[in-house]
Structure 1
Amino acid sequence: MRTINSQEAIKAIDELVFAKAGRRLNQDEKLVIEAAWEDKEYKEIAATFAYSIDRLQRDVGRKLWILLTGVLGNGEKVTKKRLRSILERRMATGSLLSSAPSQSNPVNTSAIPIIGGQPPNVQTFFGREVELIGLRDAIANCRCLVIYGAPGFGKSAMSATLIEEISTKRQPEFDCLIWKSVHYGPTLKGLLANLLDDLALPAIPEQQLPQSTQELATLLIKAISMRRCLLVLDSAEAWLRKDRNSSFNSYSEQYSEYGVFFRRIIEAKHSSCIILTSREPFRDLMKLQRSGRAIFSFKLEGLDVKAAGEILQTRGLADEHKWEQLLEPYLGNPAAIELVASRIEKFFSGSVAKFLHYQTELTSEIFRETLAEQYQPERLSVLDRQILSYLAQRADDVNDFVSFLQIIEELPVRLPSSLSISELMRSIENLNDLCLIVKSKNRETKELFLKLPPLLKKHILQEKQV
């Protein structure tokens, strides 16, 4: 096979991205692809083109690999190290543009019939183009998709926008959609009966439903095997265990059957898909993903500065040079940014500068509700709370970041009992999943550093003063 040079690779990828995502690669993305193709380090590109290594690696690179996983990966994760082998393999087999729409095979423009519930009406949706491409690919290749993240990050809006896109533009096509908000925590038996009632397939005779929950589950799996269904269960964190001190089981005792049910859905042979949105990850399902099952867990992060700025622009706010300062404490939380933007528009004539003058007095009131939803001490283990308290008390540090090695050395001194490293790592992973800590790595040493989001830190310190 003829050797492909970096410019030919860039051209092929650019055409693929245009065919599948409707846009062209920008110059930054082309530089990262060239570096990956020629096995260059990010620092080499940064030195040559006067770029920031952090920007290339954490912003441009991170989003590019998500994008290419969606348009090129075909179920395989695309990374800087694996790009060349994946692209060459696809080009050799002639499958590079096989899934792109063509004139002879037009895309379906009819919406998915909704037979139960109703997705939210998303009026505005900023950014997330790269994430949507990755999720479109995921939903085509899995039977369960979990979208989790902090309150206000837009999980429901993301799901609704994803459904709209696959409904009117791209494959896969689903025969029907059921959207259920499950914030009230229905039992598995009740939910199954409700879903079967919505499906009402002629092939399933109208009769008294089975009394056994697992028989109901078998009936549902049979139903979603007969036509391609998309089931969305919104706010599914209601089923998860509230007290992490009592058990490592993901589910609360009254919802323990859900673990078996989701595993059956994932392992059964069908082409339907179930989407779960949650403030917390489903750890049992993440284990199934690591073992190669047809499930994909996706953590929804905050908006980048550009997308967050679009919210402020839509509101017509002034003092654009102050926008980045305004946005920094809120870590890209769309709901929080919408809230503060509406207050600035209403009470400060749209002036960001005037708001920032009074920010200290207003922050606690504006974000009390957001913090209350995200920070729920009763759902954390004792160690989780100890770590948060420890990080909050590092207020005298210039940048608030504390190294993981420093935590290992200092935290056991503050605790009444011995602390294992594995317990500490597990707790930090949990806090990160809940978006209660911010992680960073030193570019040179790769050492891990942690800190609290600014508003949460302030909230915890104020609690301690009461």
Structure 2
Amino acid sequence: MNLKEALKLADRIVFEKTGQHLDDVQEAVLKGTLERDTYKHIAKDFDCSESSVRKVGSELWQILSEEFGEDVSKSNVRSAMQRFQISQVSNFAQGDVVAIGNFNICGEARHPPNIPNSHPPNQETSHQDLSEMPKLGNFFDRTPQLQTLTNWILQQNSSLIALIGTSGIGKTTLAVQLVQQIKDEFEYVIWCNFDTSPTLGEFEAHLIQFFSHSQKQDLPTANQKALPLIKYLQKHRCLVVLDDIHNLFSSGELAGKYKPEYEEYRSLFKKIEKISHPSCFLLIGWEQPREVTQIKNQNTQINTLQLKGLDIAAAREILRDYGLADIDNYSALIHRYQGNPLWLKSVATLIQELGGCVTELFPDDTILLPEDLKDVLQQQCDRLSELEKQVLSLLAKASGAIDLTQLLENSRIPAPDLVNALQSLSRRCLIEQQGNFYTISPVLRQYAIAAM
């Protein structure tokens, strides 16, 4: 089956299902997909938006799914058409049709039947285990961050990305939106929630079971042994998302120190960084592995994105949901809570329950700390070492930004320990640095003064 025949097959199926032939955009999407173009490239060639192309593609894959009796997506339409063709040609003996080049060609097999990896490296499959991925709720504008992550993954082929930020800032929500947009560019996609903190052995076994089980579904007659994890990552383009990665690290220690039972993850992340492969690991959490911070400046395939708060326009949409978009000084309220979606929802709930008048009873710089917000802050602060708590208390008591010299003068902490604590707090996204000056958010300052 060549490209012309593939388009003809799709046109016939679409006509049977809808009563209309492939339109120009549908044909461009299918043709571009079979030629391994990205949606972005197809949109550029056809002079339309990427979102329009994605929508047309999604509708087309749904039509083909109904006809083929399997889930069809951008990443597996080629192999799905191959399987459908084989199922329709019943008079061909087994082995008379082999997959090479662009599509199936009738003739002798190019590879001996029992040689591992006899399938061409570009043969595509599509398997997604997103059962642990949260549902996408309200998504507020994060276009620049989405573009950055998409570029790192699809254009720069980053092998390891850390998405970090304070609790409630929107890391997981952003990652869900990202996965929804780019999942069809991968052969395998899996989302793993690390709330349960699996050991490395358990985690690797889970991934290998996912990869090998999916392959057995594609090749029911194959009798292949499970490969080491890194071999799957090298052989296929995989997207692996690890949410709440901070659960691997010890509380009461500086940021990124593994719990003893999870030390082996260090070797996995180093292997992902060192060995050549087309796959990507996306780590989401309050902090990141120390080895990521050590190598990301030396290797463009290792990246870290620290997520900041929403801008005024996006954060105002949260207040609008609570009927507070038009209160006086709404922008000051957003600024005080740093555009953190969870923090804003917490204080907005308090204001709403009190009838909205609470904003008129306190000075503009008042920081309200609802109990649920205190609980959120406590969870993150409970992870700090005693040294970090001392430094955070010093920063909280300062009237504004404070430089390293003043911190040394105001404390009895040895200079090397103070510097390490500042670095760790920065890696946890709990303090901000501007030149030689350090400061903390108004919310965290209020909490630290009361709790530490």
Supply the AA of the counterpart residue of 2:191. W
Q: Is the 8 A contact 1:348 1:355 kept in 2?
A: no
Point out where structure 2 has 5 or more consecutive residues left out of the alignment: 1-39, 59-72, 74-125
What's the CA shift for 1:359?
A: 9.8
Of residues 212, 228, 235, the one that matches 2:237 is 228
Aligned residue in 1 for 2:270: 263
Aligned residue in 2 for 1:252: 259
Aligned residue in 2 for 1:440: 434
Aligned residue in 1 for 2:446: 458
Point out where structure 1 has 5 or more consecutive residues left out of the alignment: 1-96, 210-217, 442-447
Q: Is the 8 A contact 2:287 2:428 kept in 1?
A: yes
**Does structure 1 residue 176 correspond to structure 2 residue 188?**
yes
Aligned residue in 2 for 1:213: none
- Shift in alpha-carbon separation, 1:313–1:351, aligned structure 2, 3 A: farther
Aligned residue in 1 for 2:142: 128
Counterpart-to-counterpart distance in 1, 2:265 and 2:223: 26
Aligned residue in 1 for 2:179: 163
Of residues 423, 427, 431, the one that matches 2:421 is 427
What's the CA shift for 1:98?
A: 7.6
Of residues 388, 391, 395, the one that matches 1:384 is 388
**Does structure 1 residue 186 correspond to structure 2 residue 198?**
yes
What's the CA shift for 1:160?
A: 0.6
Supply the AA of the counterpart residue of 1:266. E
1:364-415 CA-to-partner distances (Å, cap 9, x unmatched) read 4242112112212xx3333322211222233xx3xx222233223332xx34
Q: Is the 8 A contact 2:245 2:283 kept in 1?
A: yes
Counterpart-to-counterpart distance in 1, 2:349 and 2:334: 14
Aligned residue in 2 for 1:45: none
- RMSD of aligned Cα (Å): 3.1
What's the CA shift for 1:454?
A: 2.0
1:87-146 CA-to-partner distances (Å, cap 9, x unmatched) read xxxxxxxxxx98973129995634674235342211211122111111111112211111
State TM-score, norm by structure 2.
Answer: 0.66
What's the CA shift for 1:260?
A: 0.5
Q: Is the 8 A contact 2:164 2:286 kept in 1?
A: yes
Structure of larger gyration radius: 2
- Shift in alpha-carbon separation, 1:362–1:300, aligned structure 2, 3 A: closer
**Could you say what secondary structure the match of 2:429 adopts?**
coil
Supply the AA of the counterpart residue of 1:123. G
Aligned residue in 1 for 2:369: 363
Q: Is the 8 A contact 1:145 1:275 kept in 2?
A: yes
What's the CA shift for 1:148?
A: 1.0
Counterpart-to-counterpart distance in 1, 2:433 and 2:136: 31
State TM-score, norm by structure 1.
Answer: 0.64
Q: Is the 8 A contact 2:317 2:325 kept in 1?
A: no
**Could you say what secondary structure the match of 2:430 adopts?**
coil
Q: Is the 8 A contact 1:326 1:352 kept in 2?
A: no
What's the CA shift for 1:362?
A: 5.2
- Shift in alpha-carbon separation, 1:330–1:219, aligned structure 2, 3 A: same
**Could you say what secondary structure the match of 1:183 adopts?**
helix
Counterpart-to-counterpart distance in 1, 2:137 and 2:448: 34
Q: Is the 8 A contact 2:367 2:442 kept in 1?
A: no
**Could you say what secondary structure the match of 2:283 adopts?**
strand
Supply the AA of the counterpart residue of 2:402. V
Supply the AA of the counterpart residue of 2:161. L
Aligned residue in 2 for 1:343: 350
Supply the AA of the counterpart residue of 1:367. L
- Shift in alpha-carbon separation, 1:362–1:391, aligned structure 2, 3 A: closer
- Shift in alpha-carbon separation, 1:249–1:462, aligned structure 2, 3 A: closer
Of residues 29, 46, 71, the one that matches 1:103 is 46
Q: Is the 8 A contact 2:336 2:367 kept in 1?
A: no
1:50-71 CA-to-partner distances (Å, cap 9, x unmatched) read xxxxxxxxxxxxxxxxxxxxxx
- Shift in alpha-carbon separation, 1:293–1:360, aligned structure 2, 3 A: closer
Supply the AA of the counterpart residue of 1:409. E
